[in-house]
Structures are given as C-alpha cells and as structure tokens.
A and B are shown apart, each in its own frame.
Chain A
C-alpha cells in the first residue's frame, strides 16, 4: 500500500549500533514529518553523527528499522542514500580542493550519464543553485581559493543539487557569522515550505528555538525524548541532555595543591586558529579541567601552549619566569608534556616497539654525552614504566600497533611520565579506552598530580572531567567563557558555559 502516505517521511525505530564492544546507539527512535525541521541534540559522543550516518548509508545498523515514505530502506553506502534522496552536509568538509565549485557540486554526476561533459551547462546550473541560496560565489572558482564560509555554502549547495527529500545538516553554522547564518535559516525555511524534511544538528540552542519544529535528544546513545519545540524551553532541553549518575570511577583526590601557580597563561592568542585571549593559572598538584564543545578551541589551546601551533601574542610563565615555546622541542625543554587526542596519528609510533616509543622523550637520562644509549638504563626505565602503568604486554619489544587502545594510551602517557615533567597537558585522556583502563589512567593522573606536577586535562566526557578535576575552565568560541570551582561542578553548568550562557 504505497500510496497510503504516512504522517512521517522518515521513521527510524529501535536503531542499535556498536563498534566492537562499544555500544554507540541503543534502541533509538527518530521520526521526521514531511516539511519539518527536526533538531537532533546531544553532548559530544552522544551518537548523533552515527545515527545520521546510518540514515545516509555510511554505517549499517545492527538492529532496528529505517522507513522512508512508508517503505523500509537499507542503504549500503552513501550512493544508495543519495539515490533515495537523502543528502548529508557533514561537519568535516568533503570537497575536492583542486576542482571548481561547479565540478564539486556535480561531482556525483560526473561520468554517470554521458561521455562528454557540458561544462557550460554544469557551471550555469551550479551558479543558479548558489544564487538561489543568496550567496555570492563564482561557480567556476577553484575550491582551494574559497574561504571556509564559502566552502560550507558549496557543501550545502552540493547536497541540494540532487532531488533531495531529506537534508541532514551537522553543525552547519560553526563557521558562519550571524548574517550568513540568517541567510541559511531563510533557505531552510523555504526548503521546508517546499516539503523537504530537514534534520538539523547543532549545539546552539538559540538556533534550534529559532528554526526547528521539533527536537529529539540523544544521551549516551539512548534517545531521552522527542517533542515539538513549542512544548519545551532551554532548561528543559539541557535537562534532557544530562541527567546521568556519576559512577564510582574516579579516584579520591589526595594531592596537596600548592599556593603559587606553577604555570600561568596570559592573553594567549593564536595566529592561525580561533583561540584568543586565553588566560589561566595552574598550581602544582592541581588537576585543571578544560571543557567545551568540539570546535571551541580546547585542543588548539593545548597545542598553542605546547608550541605545536603558532602564537600571535600572549605570555607563558613557568614558576613565575617567562618562557617562550616556539616549538614542541622548546616546550619539552621546559619540561612541559603533551598527550595528543589523536593517539594513532600524533601520539604513538605504531610500527615501533613499546620500548622505542617510551624512550623517545627520555634520551637525556638514558644516553651518554655522544648520544649512545645505555641498554641497561633503557630497559630498567621502560620495564618499570610497563609495570607501573600496568601495560598488558608479553614484552617491551611488542609493536604498539598490536596493543589495545587502552594500552596504547598508556604508552602515550608513559612517554611523558618517564621524564620529570612540570606541566602535562592531556587531551582526551580516555578516548576509545575501555572502563578498566580508564580507572587506571585516572589513578595515574592523580598520582602525577601528587608529585607536584600541574596537570591540565581536556575532555569532552563530562562525568570524567568533573570526576578528576579540581577546577574546570569552560571554553566557548575560542576563549575561556567561565570557570567552575569544584562546588559548582554540574553538567548543566558546564553545558551552559559551553553554549555561551550564564549560570542560573
């Protein structure tokens, strides 16, 4: 009975998905009507992107049912999704830099229909499409030469270049200023009137209340409810997004926090990223948490301090003395350590042994003047760290690529524990790590702090950052929006600051 139109265009029911042992979505429902803008909300890692990727065919669901226009669908890849009329604008841009705007917009059609391309027609069509969105971009320009805002517009145009029935936008306005954002909203409202169903993912609650008709909130892979926007307010949404109990994962903080700061950051501003006017202090023995949404500049701030990104202005003080970190080598020289959030690309050397991974930062203590490594000292150092961190491995000669995520993360940490660091920056200490290893890593952070090190932890995991920090800074749009002392720790407060709202 295909003609019998359902009230909903998209009905996702009972969707479950896990990656390995990690369950990302558990029995999630999402229903979207014809001509509706439906907001999908949730913290980082709540499963929003995975849900959308199941709809579009990037991932395959483990259980559940996806129904489009009353017919069950099972897209196996994004092409299947596109054919069904589902287009997604992802957070990370997916344009080909060396091709023109028009070529990018019609990339999926190139070579599909005819042997010869009619470039004039394609460029004209692309130009019309962009003009209809109200932005000024030359369709024959090369994408590489466009600004990030223009690239985002091209990405949206690309999604609309087909016969799109369901449009998904994942944080489309992060790069937009208010005027551009307003243009986008006008377009979305127009498309909605034309009958398109739009799924809108955003952290900006004010946007949601401006344009969305209804919302669905995800929390740790479970949907905590769907309702029309008219029936809820900002506080209600925040309540749905949080509301989980702290588990007994976190160690009792026992370290004595010193009086004078070990490390001070004053008005730090980046040259190439959005980070600006960041100021804070860390005391010896203190664990300082930095929270904020993805894209708020947390990682960039850490890299700026560590000298991996270029600074425009600002001062760093270590034990009251000014230091300059123009490169990571400088920072290491001042005994500052940095554990990257991107373990595989930036943290460990996958093809090398545990021993070679750990030793890479500690040559000053294991090698002599001419750089010859003392084998005894090296093994003593490495084996004691393997034991101390409880890295599960048959020997120190096992290549790091053969270890589990948790053990890899411990190797990344061990690199900085083998030297006497004064300050350690840890970006996402437990991403992709199982619960057992998490507890061990938390205890380790606690121990490091006890030695009088200033520990700065960046985390998207709210219970985690509240569980291990003495104080939390919350970043919003490239700078520190607010600071929370321990007695004010709550997911609601962190979330309020991270979306740029004052506390209640």
Chain B
C-alpha cells in the first residue's frame, strides 16, 4: 500500500522528499501567498474570478493535451482549432437552435481531432507533423469562414450563452465550473477507468502494450479525437465569454497548454502525468500572468518570467526522479 502522508513526512529527509514530490502544488501555494503579500487587489473576488475566467479556456485544452501527451504524442493543432471552432460556433448560434449549435460544434471538434488521430494511428505519421499541418489548416479555415473578421452572436441563444459565460455560482465563474468538471472527469478516467490505464501503459511502453493485446491504434485515434472535442468546448467557452467568434482566438494556446502539462510534471515521452497536476500547471501559469499584470509588468517581461518558470519546474522534476 502507498505510504500515508504522515509516514512520508516522518521518514528521514521526508519533508524535503514530500515537497519535491508534490512540487507543483507547493509552487502554486507559494505563488498564492507571494501574490497576496505584494498586492492588495489579488485577494479580491473580482480579481480571482477574472483569473479563473482567463485560465478556463486554456485549461480545458490542457486536459486534452495531457491525454495526448500521456500516450507519448503531442497535439499542436488545438489553438487553431479553438479559433476555427469559435467561428463555427458563432455561425451556428446565429443559424440554428442553441443545443444543436453546441452539439454540432463538439462533433466537428471530434471530427477534426479524428483526422489527427487517423493520421497518427493508422498512417503512422509523427504526431508533431500531423498536428502541425492541421494547425495551419484549421487557422486558415477559421479565416476563410469568418472572412477574416469576428462574428458576433446575434440571437437569443447567443445572449443566453454570453450570460452563462459571464455569470457565477457562489462566486465561482460558470466557465471555471465547466473547466473543473472536465478536470474531475479526467481525474476519474485516468485513475479508475480502463481507458486511463491503457493510455498510460501505451505511453510507457507501446510495444509491450501491443503485445499485451491492447488495441494501440484505437486508443491513439481516440486521444486525438478527445483532444479535438475538448478544443470545441474551450472554443464555446471563450466565444461565449466575448460574445463572438474570431479567427484570431487561441493564438499560441497549444504552447501554453504544453507548458501547463509539463509544469504539471508530465513527461513528453508519455506514461507520466496526472489531471490534478495539469490543473496546477494551468493555475500557476495563470497566476504568474495575473500577478505580473497587477504589478503593471508589461507583457514582454511576462513572457521571460513564464519561460523561466517552465525551466525551473522541469529541473525540479529531474531532481524528483533521482
């Protein structure tokens, strides 16, 4: 049986080991304390709710990214997919009834993800290449369908979505609730469902998985389709928040998603990573942006700090695996 937290702490060097093992959670807590100390505005409900709203979109695609990365793959197309699917959703909201618009957008996301899945699983294309190609295709299609400019919601359905996306329950923004539900679903699937076990097995040793009778291709295909579906949900969330779908949305989000997954301790070789840690990765990236904004740091230095945090987090993990 796994050691209890108490046992871990009381073993020699236990506290340090415990800290290193759960480093993402501690980095997160340290950042929260630090933020609260240097800014009076940080712990206001307006700021916290803004922070959650900001990270939810990237957060949702990060979960898809995690699932793909667990198999040893990568999905570079998700940022552009968010743009294409946000435009798609805006067009659909203005033409069909809302439930159908939501359903169709998610199905299209599933379909686009399936293309990547097909290329990787059945055509044995390198995930990096297949999704890189889809990334430019999706971005291009987004501009074509929107004719280059944002499409605003014009119907009652659009208004409903916009209200939903900007309201809160008990102080928690609705869209953050959507994000948290997805995180919890992913946690449950990865921990207690066969699906999670199999993709982790595949990521840690693909040939052994195949020789254990796992239908490796089927699951490879599925993870990209799921990633596409989650990109669709992220697209609906961000479009509803701003009341429009724009082909410029989701710019470089795939990189933020990869960064969040990596800060969360996942291995790009596959087989290692959890949904809770990815959530921490998303929040850490969001927090850094938030606190630097509060301190009026311009966006370019922000990028430098973000990069430094990624390097720091990965170095810490190497320490952990020793």
Contacts and interface: CB of A to CB of B under 8 A. Distances in A.
Contacts of B208: 340, 345-349
A306 B212 contact: no
A411 to B, nearest CB: 11
Contact of B271 (A351, A359, A361): A351
Ranked nearest first, the 3 interchain pairs of A and B with the lowest CB-CB distance are A332-B213, A371-B194, A363-B194
Interface in A361-393: 361, 363, 367, 370-373, 375
Interface in B259-283: 271-272
A338 interface: yes
Given A331-B213, A332-B212, A349-B201, 16 more contacts: A329-B214, A329-B215, A340-B208, A346-B208, A347-B211, A351-B271, A351-B272, A352-B201, A356-B200, A360-B201, A361-B213, A371-B195, A373-B193, A373-B197, A395-B1, A396-B1
Interface in B106-137: none
Interface of A: 306, 308, 327-329, 331-333, 338, 340, 345-352, 356, 359-361, 363, 367, 370-373, 375, 395-397, 415
Interface in B58-107: none
A351 B193 contact: no
A306 B210 CA distance: 11
A308 B195 contact: no
Given A329-B213, A360-B212, A397-B1, A350 B205 contact: yes
Given A345-B208, A349-B201, A356-B200, A367 B213 contact: no
29 contacts: A332-B213, A333-B213, A338-B211, A340-B211, A345-B205, A346-B211, A347-B208, A347-B211, A351-B204, A351-B272, A352-B201, A352-B271, A356-B201, A360-B197, A360-B198, A360-B214, A361-B212, A363-B197, A367-B194, A371-B193, A372-B192, A372-B193, A373-B193, A373-B194, A373-B197, A375-B192, A395-B1, A396-B1, A397-B2
A206 to B, nearest CB: 37
A239 B272 CA distance: 53
Contacts of B54: none
Contacts of B197: 356, 359-360, 363, 373
A346 B207 contact: yes
B209 interface: yes
A98 to B, nearest CB: 17
Contacts of B205: 345-346, 348-350
Contacts of A349: 201, 204-205, 208-209, 271
B216 to A, nearest CB: 9
A332 B1 CA distance: 30
Nearest to B195: A371
A385 to B, nearest CB: 15
B187 to A, nearest CB: 13
Contacts of A350: 204-205
Contacts of A348: 205, 208
A395 B2 CA distance: 8
A423 to B, nearest CB: 13
Contacts of A332: 212-213
A470 B272 CA distance: 44
A328 B312 CA distance: 42
Nearest to B267: A351
Nearest to A332: B213
Nearest to B207: A346
Contacts of A375: 192
Nearest to B193: A371
Contacts of B201: 349, 352, 356, 360
Q: Considering residues B194, B195, B200, which has the most beta carbons from chain A within 10 angstroms of its beta carbon?
A: B194
Contacts of B211: 306, 308, 328, 338, 340, 346-347
B215 A327 contact: yes
Nearest to A330: B213
A352 B192 contact: no
A182 to B, nearest CB: 39
Nearest to A367: B194
B34 to A, nearest CB: 34
B193 A328 contact: no
A329 B194 CA distance: 15
A356 B272 CA distance: 13
B29 to A, nearest CB: 26
A375 B1 CA distance: 12
Interface in B221-245: none
A217 B212 CA distance: 40
A333 B192 CA distance: 23
A393 B310 CA distance: 36
A347 B213 CA distance: 12
Contacts of A346: 205, 207-208, 211
A349 B197 CA distance: 12
Contacts of B198: 360
Contacts of A396: 1
Nearest to B202: A349
Interface string B145-184: 0000000000000000000000000000000000000000
A373 B200 CA distance: 15
Contacts of A352: 200-201, 204, 271
A352 to B, nearest CB: 6
A331 B207 CA distance: 15
